[in-house]
Amino acid sequence: MKNRHSDPNIRVRFAPSPTGVLHIGSARTALFNYLFARHTGGTFILRIEDTDRGRSTIESENNIIEGMKWLGLDWDEGPDAEGPFGHYRQMERLGIYKKYAQKLLVENKAYHCFCKPEELEKEREAQMKEGIAPRYSGKCKNKSKDEAEKLIALNTPHVIRFVIEPKKIIVNDLIRGNVEFDSSLFGDFVMVKSDGVPIFIFSNVVDDIEMKISHVIRGEDHLSNTPKQILVYEALGAVPPQFAHIPMILGPDKSKLSKRHGATSIDDYKNQGFLADAIVNFISLLGWNPGTDQEIFTREDLIKQFSLERIQKSGAVFNIEKLKWLNGNYIRNLKIDKLTELCIPYLQEASLMVLAPSEKELARLEKIILLEQSRIQTISEISGHIDYFFKEPQIDQKILIPKKGNAETTKKALDASAVFIMTIDNADFEANKLKDIWYKFCEQNNFKPIEVLWPLRAAFTGKEASAGAFEIMEILGKEKCVERINRAISVL
C-alpha cells in the first residue's frame, strides 16, 4: 500500500538476522520502518542479514517472513520481491562485500590480521588485569603487504580488520539528538571473518550504501555500533544515512522485555488469539504517540499520523492489559462470520468440535459466539466461555445459589421453573419473549427475579458468569433446558 505522494529518495529497510523467531521488538522495528515508508511514500525493503551462519536458520527466516505477512507489513523489495538493488539475503551478496573490503585493503583502511585466537585471548586477559578495556593491539597493522600476501599464499588463517581512526564521533540521531563517542576506545575490529564472511557492522553498511538507504530506523541496542559504522561510511567515501534509534521495550518491572516477562514472539500472541490489527495498533504505541488521546488506530490512521518526531527517547513499557483491551475492541468490531471462522480452530483444539460445522451448525455457532463477542479479549478464551453449549456442564451446588439466597429457596425456584418451562410454547422460545414470560412467572409466584434467573443461568452453564439466561435458553432449546434444570435440582 503506497501513499498517494511518493518520495523516491526515502528508502528504509527492516534487516532482521534470522537467528530466532519474529518477536515484539523486531516486529515494532519493522512496523516503524513500514509506517515511515508508507507515510512518506518511500520504499520499504526487507533484507535478511544471515551472515551469522552458526545461528541463522531457514526456519527463522520463514517465521519472520510469515509473521510480517500476517501483520500485513508488506515490503516493496525483499527476498521474494527482487528489486533493482537485490539480492536481499546477505549470503547471496558475498561478492559485493569482497569488493568493498578489497577497496579498503588497497587504501590501507583495512588490513589482514593473522593473530591466533589464543594470542588474542592472552592479550585480552592482560589488558583486563591492567584494568584497561580490552581491544586489539593493532599488531598486524604493521605487517608489510608482501609479508601478508606470503602468509595468505601459505593458507594461513586470517581475518580482515578495519582501521579505526581515533577521533570524536558525533552520531546525530533523529530521536536521541547528538550522541558523542570516542573511537580511540574501539580497537581495529574484525570486518571479515576467516571464512570470508563479513560481520554485521560491515555488511550492514555496504548494503545500506548499495541499497541507497536514506534512514536507518532500528533498536537503541544498535546505537553503540553506529560510531563504528559511521567510520566505515567515511572510509568508503559514502554519506551515512540518517539514524533513528528507537527506545527499548521494557517489561512492567522496567527491565528490558524478555521471555521472563511472558510471551515475546508474535507467534505466541497469534496462538493466544490476538488479532494482527490489534498487535499492530499496540506495538505502534510502544515508543510512539500521536500527541492526542487517540488509542485505537486503523492502519490508515497510523500511516497518516506516524512521524519520527513523535518517537520518545525513554523506554516503552509493555502493558499486556492494554493489549488485551485493544484486542477486545478489535474482536467486537469483527463481523460475526469472520469471528466464528477464527474461533473454530480453538473449539476444535478444545475438543468441543471435531469436524468442520455444517451450514446449520454454523448458524447456531454464530449465534453462540455472538453472545460472547463483547465478553472475550482473546479468541482463545472462547472455548472456556461457550463449552456448555457442546457438553454437559458440571453443576456445583454453590454456583446455583444466588448471593443472598439459600438452598431451600433455590430448590423451590428451580422446581417451579421445571414445571413451568414445560408449559411454554415452542414458538415463544426466543430470548425477548422468554424475558417477558419469566418476569411474569416471577411476579405471579412471588419470586424475586434473581432467585429464579440466577439458578437457571447457573443450571444451564455451570458457570458463575456467562451470557444472560434468556439468550442461552433460546439456543439450548426447551428440552435441553428442562434436562439441565432437573440435573441442577438433583444436586441441591
Beta bridge partners of 215: 12, 242
Q: Output the nine-digit C-alpha cell for 360.
A: 446449520
Residue closer to ligand GLU (CB basis): 225 or 271: 225
Q: How far is the CB of 66 from ligand GLU (least distance, A)?
A: 17
Assess contact for 252 and 50: CB atoms under 8 A: no
E strand or H helix that includes residue 382: helix 382-386
Please state the closest distance from residue 200 (CB atom) to ligand GLU, in A.
Answer: 6
Least separation in angstroms between residue 272's CB and ligand GLU is 25
Are 240 and 229 contacting, i.e. CB atoms less than 8 angstroms apart? yes
User: Catalytic residue positions?
Assistant: 259
29, 190, 438, 470 from 432: Cα distances, Å: 50, 75, 10, 7
CB of 147 to ligand GLU, least distance (A): 35
CA 179, distance to chain mean position in Å, is 29
Report the residue number, 240 or 273, with the smaller CB distance to ligand GLU: 240
Report the interface residues with ligand GLU, using CB under 6 A: 15-17, 49, 200, 204, 216, 218, 222
What the block records as the C-alpha cell of 282 is 499496540
Q: What's the gap between Cα 53 and its chain centre?
A: 25
Residue 299 falls in which region: left (phi positive, over 0), alpha (psi -120 to 50) or beta: alpha
User: Least Å distance between CB 187 and ligand GLU?
Assistant: 21
Nearer to ligand GLU, 17 or 373 (CB): 17
Compute the least distance from the CB of residue 382 to ligand GLU, in Å.
36
Q: Which three cell numbers stand for residue 225?
A: 555500533
Kindly tell me the burial class for residue 335, based on how many C-beta atoms sit within 10 Å of its own C-beta (0-12, 13-18, 19 or more).
Answer: exposed
Question: What is the nearest approach in angstroms of ligand GLU to the Cβ of residue 287?
Answer: 15
- Helix axis angle, 24-40 to 276-284, nearest 10°: 80
Residue closer to ligand GLU (CB basis): 15 or 279: 15
DSSP conformation class of 189: P
Residue placing its CB nearer to ligand GLU in the complex, 45 or 421: 45
- Half-sphere exposure in the Cβ direction for 212 (13 Å, CA): 11
**Secondary structure (3-state) at 197:** coil
Nearer to ligand GLU, 202 or 288 (CB): 202
Tell me how far CA of residue 29 lies from CA of 33, 36, 198, 278, in angstroms: 6, 11, 23, 16
What are the strands of the beta sheet with 168-173, ordered from one edge? Answer: 43-46, 11-14, 215-219, 242-246, 168-173, 177-182
Q: Which is nearer to ligand GLU, 176 or 222 (CB)?
A: 222
CA distance 192 to 159: 6
* Bridge partners, residue 23, by sequence: 265
- Nearer to ligand GLU by C-beta: 17 or 265? 17
Closest distance to ligand GLU from the beta carbon of 310 (Å):
20
- CA-CA distance, 257 to 264, in Å (whole number)? 8
Residue type, 135: R
DSSP 106: H
Q: For residues 380 and 272, is the Cβ–Cβ distance under 8 A?
A: yes
Measured CA to CA, the distance from residue 265 to residue 268 in angstroms comes to 5
CB of 204 to ligand GLU, least distance (A): 5
Nearer to ligand GLU, 174 or 342 (CB): 174
* Residue 101 exposure: Cα atoms within 13 Å on the Cβ side: 24
